[in-house]
Chain A
Amino acid sequence: MPDLGKYADTVILAYVVSFVLLIGLSAITWAQSRRAKRLLDAEEARRGK
C-alpha cells in the first residue's frame, strides 16, 4: 500500500465509487445477458416441440 498522505480518504473514496459503479454495471449486464439467454432457450425449446 502506497502512502497516500493526508488525501488517503479522497483517493480511496474515488476508487471505491468508481469500482462500485463499474462492477455494478458489469454485474447487471451479465445478469441481463444470462436472463435473456435463458428466456430465449426456453422459447426455442417451445418452438422445437
Chain B
Amino acid sequence: MSFWEYANPVKFMGLSGRLIPVLSVLTALCLAVGILWGFFGTPDDYKQGSTVKIIFLHVPSAMIAINAWIMMMITSLVWLIRRHHVSALAAKAAAPIGLTMTLIALGTGAIWGKPMWGTYWAWDPRLTSFMILAVFYLGYIALWNAIEDTDVAADLTSILCMVGSVFALLSRYAVNFWNQGLHQGASLSLDKEEHVDNAFYFPLLVCIAGFVLLFVILVLIRTRTEIRLRRAASLQARNT
C-alpha cells in the first residue's frame, strides 16, 4: 500500500481517528514531564538565574514555528504537484499553529529579554526575522480567509507559500547583513562542547518532543475539521 493513499480523505480520517487518542496521551505525558522537570527539577544558571527556565518554552516553540512553515512548504508542494486535497488542508491547518508558536517564541523571548538585555524588544536579526515570519503567517492565513473557492484558495496559498519561503530565507540573510545581534547562537548542537549543560539539555529534549507531538496532534485535529467542513459544504451544495 502506497503512502499516497492517506491523501484520500476516508483513509486519512480513519488513520487519524485511531492515532489521535494514542498521541494525545503521549503528548500530555511528554509536556507534563518536560515542563515539570524543567520548572521544578533544574538549577538556576550562574549567569541568568532562574530565567533560564524560560528556555523550556522558548526553544521548542521557536523550533516548531520554523518547522511548521517547512511542513507547510512540503504539503503545499504536494498539493501543487499531485493535487491531494488533504495535503492542502494540512497546510491550512498548520498555519494558525505556526503563528501561535511564533507568538509564543516572540513573547517568551521578549519577556526574557527584559532582565537579560534590559529591554523587551531590540532589533536583533533573530528577533526581527521572527517578526517577519509572523507577518508571513498572517498573510498566508489572511489569503486563505479572503478566497471563497477552496481549490483556488489552495492553489494561491500554495504558490504564496513557495515564493514566501524563498523570500523568508532571503530576509533572514538580509537581516543578518543589516545588523549584528545580541541573541545567542545554536546551543543545541550535538557537539558536546557547544550545547547547554546537561541539567538543562535533557528536560529541554523532552519538552521539544512534547511540542512536536502537540503540533502533530493539533494539525491532525484541524485537518480533520477542515475535511469535515469540506464534506459538509459538498453535501449542502448537492442538496440544494
Contact = CB atoms under 8 A, between A and B. Distances in A.
A22 B232 contact: no
A5 B224 CA distance: 45
Interface stretch (B74-82, B97-105, B147-155, B176-184): B97-105
Counting contact residues on chain A (CB < 8 A from B), the size range is: 20 to 34
A47 B194 CA distance: 62
A39 B233 CA distance: 10
Contacts of A25: 96-97, 100, 218
B162 interface: no
Interface in A10-33: 10-11, 13-15, 17-18, 21-22, 24-26, 29-30, 32-33
B115 interface: yes
Interface string B47-73: 001110110011001000000000000
Contact of B107 (A6, A14, A29): A14
Contacts of A13: 111
Contact residues of B: prevailing secondary structure: helix
Contacts, number: 98
B107 A39 contact: no
Contacts of A24: 100
A8 B54 CA distance: 11
A37 B228 contact: yes
Contact of B51 (A7, A21, A43): A7
A10 B51 contact: yes
Contacts of A40: 228-229, 231-232, 235
10 tightest A-B contacts by CB? A36-B228, A4-B50, A36-B225, A43-B235, A40-B228, A14-B111, A18-B57, A40-B232, A14-B54, A25-B100
Interface of A: 1-8, 10-11, 13-15, 17-18, 21-22, 24-26, 29-30, 32-33, 36-37, 39-40, 43-44, 46-47
Interface of B: 39-40, 44, 49-51, 53-54, 57-58, 61, 96-97, 100, 103-104, 107-108, 111-112, 114-115, 214, 218, 221-222, 224-226, 228-229, 231-232, 235-236, 238-239
